[in-house]
Structure 1
Amino acid sequence: MHIAPLSPDDPSELGGYELLGRIGQGGMGQVYLGESPGGEPAAVKVIKPGVVDSGTRLRFAQEVEILKTVWGARVAALLDADPEADPPWLATEYVEGLDLSRHVGRHGPLDSLLTASLGATLAEALASVHKQGLLHRDLKPANVLLGPNGPKVIDFGLAVFAESSVSLTAADTVVGTPSCMPPEQANGEKPLTPAVDVYALGAVLLFAASGHAPYRADNIHLLFHQVVDPTIAPDLSGAPEELVPLLAAMLAHRAEDRPTLNDVVRRCRALIEAQGLKVAQARRRLTNHTAAPAHVLDDLLAVAPPVAAGPSAREQGRTARVPTDAAPGRPEAKTPAGESARQKPGVAVPPMPPVQVPPTDPRLLLARVDAPTPSSADSTPASTTAGREPTEGATAPDDVRSSVPPAGRGRVSGDDSSVRRRSRRHSAQARITAQRLREAYAASTPF
């Protein structure tokens, strides 16, 4: 996730929220990553001073009032707001993760199973919003955030009450995102119905599965023409075959021909179950596939701990060794300095500050017990010096394996078989000790 630094003109604090960086912007406002006095992260939206007027304040106040009425597990919650402040601002729940547009651009389209799971989740979320008497009106890939607990819908700035035909926009002005806008909204029809969000969700799912919108054109005028022309069908190329019937129905030109959101949930469930999974299993797969590493925000907000004397590995341009989940005695994975070995491929993670390892680090303790004897299930290379231990008082090297002969070796007397039996018992205990220490290290590691 890209978070740009604050500019000299940016405020450092708004409404008690410390501003830490920029996470998005538009023609009307700027969105910052903020932190409450108690440490709660938030997305703080601010209207740009150059566009603040009575009409803008009125629209912003309407957005705040709408957000107060919207709730649900899949909707980013309103935390606080002050539309009368200078500048007006609001703070919503911060969802740590990429939006759908950036995720598809970085990792490619989702398969049919994950797209169906996304469809069921978002359709249920929108149905909950509709029960509260609201329409989103601007659902698009950039307004779907893929967080660590699943996708969430954001930006209700264009939301309206479903029964209302009143608008704060100027006459003959269409507001929204043309690539995901249904024909009736593009034509300026009022009042709008829940079918507008069904169409937009269909456009979002098509993008998730294929990487493109229903209509594509070189300029906005041609794009509007394609959207409102009933003779031009949406482009469903690239979508998985099993999803095409559902997408075609959701993107129907006439609102009355589109399925309800409950029908969308039911059909997505059927697609998931046809592949032998339950909906909850498919959602877990979706979250595991799309969620950013859970430590990203911690890295961004962390205060650097004291650094050991001497140049760090990063300063010297070397690689740092990062413990992995491999069994004790295996070589540790080498990654660029500051990166976590658990980082997902393709996800950019800010470099971590060098950390001073305390003397009680489990890796130091591991060097003072016998290395585990490889089992049949162990894939440790033959060159691993299993069964060796460092001499008493030796310090642990970077790699937890030790090539130092055990203290006292060569001075053992007595029955060899008895010694071997004691050695096997000792090795079994060492494996248990090493496993516990490894688990303790994994629980306390900062990455």
Structure 2
Amino acid sequence: MTESIEQSDSNLSLTENAYLRFATIGFMYFSQGLPLGLFGVALPTFFAEIGFTKSEIATYLAIIGLPWAFKFFAGPLMDYVSFLIYGHRRPWVVIAQAGLLLTFTMSGFIAGFGDPNIVVLAGCGFVLNLFSSTQDVAVDGLAISVLKESERSKATALMFGSQKIGNLAGAVGGGLFLNSLGVSGACIAAAFTTLCLLMLPLLVKERSVEKRFPWSTGGQIAPEVLALKVDKFLPMLVDLFKKLVAPLSLFFILAFFCDSVAGGMLASYLPSFTVQDLGWDDNAYNAWYSTVNLLAAGIGLLLSPCFDLFGQRKCLVVIGALTVLGMIVFVAAPGLQSNWGWQAFIFAFFLSQHLFGVLLISACMQLVSPAVAASQFAIYMSIANLSSTIGTTLIAIWGDTWTFETIVMVAAVFVLASPVLFWLTHLGIGPQRDQALAST
């Protein structure tokens, strides 16, 4: 009987069950995509349809995106505050997922009173993304902790794809619920989905020796987890700061900044522009945006061998040049600005944004120092999120006064600057050179 229980615990531990590892990581990334799709895509187009201005919608998007810009605070907090008897990262995943559940539920109740209030929903979206970004850091840490080296490439592709599918579910499914049941119904549906997903990290263990619940009998801290505990916090922060302000790192930060500002500008401008200026139905934009994201995820996966073969550096320059050329041609040729032309433009721009992200993040993995990898990686990602928020802020300020031609051209300048700055890092040249750079 005892052997049977131990065998069952082993089967439900992430380190001893590969299928469970991938399922847990994939479903948690799907869960991150839900608030991004519902509050970041479906609600903005819904707001545009009921009469809110571009500046109001961009301000809303800037507010709800802020937690992603400051998620770097979560990494050191998780390193320092731990509940190791329940696992290295699992407790934080459960806490963040439970926070998503409670916030979706409260948002549903709050939205049930009166007409949709963009200020109140911005507050709800802010709290949702606070938990979602915390869950992102926790799941990244969980993946590093339980994945084998040979599984990391597959897991990275799964993470990208799962979040895109979650984004699609939040955008398209959320859009349908918004039109049929209102904001309250959409939030309650998201809460139910989040509750189902919470069961996975709640029931599994990272390692079979650990406790599952506070009331579970037995349990101990795994030796390999105990070795990861941070005892001296300040020296770690000093080392991290030195890595971040190195010239190589600063050029990389600027490259990531420029790319993310461009993405933030058009991601916040296009939902209201397509509905109010082009006459699209809000569900039409949600469906096309989600389809584009799914196609981009698949194309990125197919092109990944080419990125390895030619290096991120050359690929970024080629993609950047083609993107800027396409933006200039589209603005200069009014005949291209038909309904299908706008669909093609949205597809091409967000595809290039996805490919830029894949290339920059893979280069980031080469850049981080093993000693402070988790915190350093989280900070780079936070800078990208903050830069995207800066892009939405530009639209919040000038979205109602600038023409779309001006907005596209300003975004094109940032797109062009990104590969130029990345070239100065000397990252992404080739495997041998990258290994040498990473070791310095």
TM-score by length of 1: 0.23
**Greater fraction of residues in strand:** 1
**Greater fraction of residues in helix:** 2
Structure number with greater CO (CA < 8 Å, separation at least 6) is: 2
Max Rg structure:
1
